Structure 1
Amino acid sequence: MSSADRPQLAYLTDALNELKQKGTHFRLRVLEDQQAPVCHYDGKQVINLASNNYLGLANHPELIEAALKATRELGVGSGAVRTIAGTMKIHMDLEEKIARFKNVEACVVFQSGFAANAGTVSAILGKEDFILSDELNHASIIDGARLSRAKIKVFRHKDVAHCEELLQEVANEPGRKLVITDGVFSMDGDIGPVDKLGALAEKYGAIMMVDDAHASGVLGRNGRGSIDHFGMHGRVDVQVGTLSKAIGALGGYVCGSRDLIDYLYHRARPFLFSTSHPPSVAATCIAAFDILEQEPERIDRLWENTRYFQRELRRAGFNVGGVNTPATETPITPVILGEGRLTMDFSRALFDEGVMGTGIAFPTVPEGKARIRLIVTSEHTRANLDQALDTLERVAKRMGILQ
């Protein structure tokens, strides 16, 4: 059916045509096997540098076996939202497992990291309250802030002094204040100043919240995240994490005091109105946290690969952050090109040469900051990385990106 048949949707076709003219339109690439360092997308074998599967847990044999065992014993679905009939013992076991791992009183699991962020912010604040948010915070934080109807104050990226200025502006206003930051920023890979913002929140009596999606499994002891990385246990009121990246499965979670979690059981809309995880997913996540404790060498390999890959990209002349752009400090490695069309063309050319690197352009990143976003994992071999580096440099020179 075309827009000629349904003219009321013609504006969507116009918007898509505009994306095509800008060169930033894309189509979904289809993975045909496991989410692995080398895999097949659209029938082509590629070195996969686009995945959040940091530690290779998405296809770890112990996680696969845990999923199969839970399915055989408990079925494929939970049957309901958790407040009606869908809370299974395995869901409670997972929440207790995460709470112990994160050194907090309690935890609640959501169906996605996006739902965890949006559901929590919108539940704990109202229209009389204030949110102080880093300008590069994740879209789920932004949406949650809007849903809360609280007044939103945006501080410059990682600018603690600017955040304090905004806190001073609203200090005498009625309502609660919430300071929120990503632990690791998803597009630039830099680490949020959790320690300094946490101290600031304490000084002004504000709630402190951290989205640790890209820090979970990457920073801190055994991947406990940015709160552990900065030694901020007990000083961050709301910790959000994901089960969809380093943990290798699906979902998000919120950690904090028992009262916070009990309140979210009663008021977080994604929790109240979405069917709970299949038991296979909960079992997989439990097994993943065991692996984090038992195989810390995976995180060591992740960082070894990251340091090597980023060093070689810089040596070749690529811009991977710094000078008017945040500098990466984690396995998230942006190759910044600036112009959207060039970036998407580079991404497609890399794919044709056997490297999967996703092009990111406006509105995900600001105009003029388009980039190829690359992530190495613990499971990439040195040969994988060298082949990818050779391809990146060769294609970039052919396209005039590098001299």
Structure 2
Amino acid sequence: MESKLRPVTTLNGKNYLYFAGTSYYQLHAHSEIIASAVEATRQWGIGAATSRTINGTTPLLLKLEKKIADFFETEDAAYLPSGYLSNLAGIQALEQLQIFDRIFIDEKAHYSNLAGARGTGKKVIQFSHLDADNLEKKIKKHLKKGEKPLIVSDGLFPIMAEVPPVPAYLKIAEAYDGAIWIDDAHGAGILGEHGRGLYEYFNLSSDRLYSGGTLSKAFGAYGGFIIGDNRFIHTVKSGEVMTGTNSPPSAIAGAASRGIEMIKNNPEFLRRLKSNALYLKAKIKSIGIAAEENAIPIVAFSSGNAEKMEKIQQMLMNKGIYIQFVKYIGAGSEGILRIVVSSAHTKEEIDFLVNSLAFIL
């Protein structure tokens, strides 16, 4: 990538209409985000060069955590250097609070969730992808009397744009006195009426529900976060992950702070994203590609084997369009073609993509 991230992005010296990645509002190159990063760096320097628990907690970071908590309507929040670390720190804190005894994790959950689960030293059992019935079977088989389960899943599986059946998971958690950890990296900022993520999407509220995410996707910045009540967040902040990592750089904290403000104060971003997602999916279906009828801005499809899909990607690139051919968790052994639309794309750009794809297929 040889330019700022934008609807037309320069890759290896050539401009492409860019339908990839995870910048759902194309905020990563927004002038206000960049200005906030520069201003934060001028005021606070590159970083504190120490951990949060020594003297690396700055007013900048405290202000950001307050904004995160306010956005997601929780008591408190913790900000970490990456979304990967959020899953490690969150699951570790739940273990320290003795919330669970065994972990049951979706077999296609992100690597960081599995790393966090294994890092607790507790027994980890995988259940079939998105399958509440299989989850309960595994709990009945592996959970001993008096033990409590922790159910772990992504909030939005980014390759196939799948949403887990969390209401069903919650009923299971209630039945076995357990809890749920959701890695809402992709859902935060785009799911729900206000973009508060998976729990808002399902209108769920329970003290058994815990989650974290990242500001590196919808919010146009970088760094992970964990949200929850004061006791839980205090445990996160005093845990090994936050005490053992340097305080995040000022620039990304400043950018994140502005990104949250922009999404909160501009609901038209989310409305436009949903409109574009629905428009893309209607057009894609008209050329014979299956797509779920929802406002999630991702369409993934396979076409033959890996060689054929790479050829399709290259033919689109020859027309000046870039979509992803990926081999990732959930993509299968041959990989998958993945299209991501942002709120910044125009209907004409979407039409050009779909018409070009129709010609190739």
TM-score strictly above 0.5: yes
Picking from 236, 261, 271, the partner of 1:290 is 261
Match of 2:347 in 1: 382
Give the unaligned 5+ runs of structure 2.
Answer: none
Specify the code of the residue in structure 1 equivalent to 2:352.
Q
- C-alpha distance after superposition, 1:200-250 (max 9, x if no partner): 212211121111111111111321111111111334432111100000110
**2:85 aligns to what SS in structure 1?**
helix
**C-alpha distance in 1, partners of 2:318/2:115?**
36
**2:74 aligns to what SS in structure 1?**
coil
Classify 1:124/1:356 alpha carbon distance in 2 versus 1 (closer, same or farther; 3 Å).
Answer: same
Picking from 290, 300, 309, the partner of 2:280 is 309
**1:57 aligns to what SS in structure 2?**
coil
- Do the aligned partners of 2:69 and 2:75 also contact (CA within 8 Å) in 1? yes
**Aligned-residue offset at 1:92:** 1.2
Classify 1:338/1:96 alpha carbon distance in 2 versus 1 (closer, same or farther; 3 Å).
Answer: farther
Specify the code of the residue in structure 1 equivalent to 2:168.
K
- Do the aligned partners of 2:159 and 2:329 also contact (CA within 8 Å) in 1? no
Match of 2:324 in 1: 358
Specify the code of the residue in structure 1 equivalent to 2:22.
N
Counting only pairs closer than 5 Å after superposition, residues 52-71 of structure 1 correspond to structure 2 as 52-71=22-41
**C-alpha distance in 1, partners of 2:304/2:92?**
34
**2:204 aligns to what SS in structure 1?**
coil
Picking from 158, 179, 193, the partner of 1:221 is 193
Picking from 199, 209, 232, the partner of 2:204 is 232
Give the CA RMSD over aligned residues.
2.2
**C-alpha distance in 1, partners of 2:88/2:176?**
24
- Do the aligned partners of 1:340 and 1:361 also contact (CA within 8 Å) in 2? no
- C-alpha distance after superposition, 1:147-202 (max 9, x if no partner): 22322222222221221222223443454420112221111102111222122212
Q: How many residues align?
A: 359
TM-score between both structures, scaled by the size of structure 1: 0.83
- Do the aligned partners of 1:138 and 1:186 also contact (CA within 8 Å) in 2? no
- Do the aligned partners of 1:209 and 1:238 also contact (CA within 8 Å) in 2? yes
- C-alpha distance after superposition, 1:51-72 (max 9, x if no partner): 2110122122322222222122
**C-alpha distance in 2, partners of 1:362/1:196?**
26
Match of 1:93 in 2: 63
**1:105 and 2:75 correspond:** yes
**1:335 and 2:305 correspond:** no
**Aligned-residue offset at 1:75:** 1.4
**1:356 aligns to what SS in structure 2?**
strand
**C-alpha distance in 2, partners of 1:211/1:162?**
20
Counting only pairs closer than 5 Å after superposition, residues 111-122 of structure 1 correspond to structure 2 as 111-122=81-92
- Do the aligned partners of 1:113 and 1:251 also contact (CA within 8 Å) in 2? yes
**Aligned-residue offset at 1:113:** 1.0
Q: Which has the larger radius of gyration?
A: 1
- Do the aligned partners of 2:160 and 2:330 also contact (CA within 8 Å) in 1? no
**Aligned-residue offset at 1:143:** 2.0
Match of 1:82 in 2: 52
**2:203 aligns to what SS in structure 1?**
coil
Q: Between the two structures, name the one with larger relative contact order (CA 8 Å, sep ≥ 6).
A: 2
Give the unaligned 5+ runs of structure 1.
Answer: 1-30, 322-326, 398-403
**Aligned-residue offset at 1:84:** 2.1
Specify the code of the residue in structure 2 equivalent to 1:373.
R
Classify 1:352/1:328 alpha carbon distance in 2 versus 1 (closer, same or farther; 3 Å).
Answer: farther
Percent of aligned positions that are identical: 28
Match of 1:7 in 2: none
Picking from 30, 33, 39, the partner of 2:9 is 39
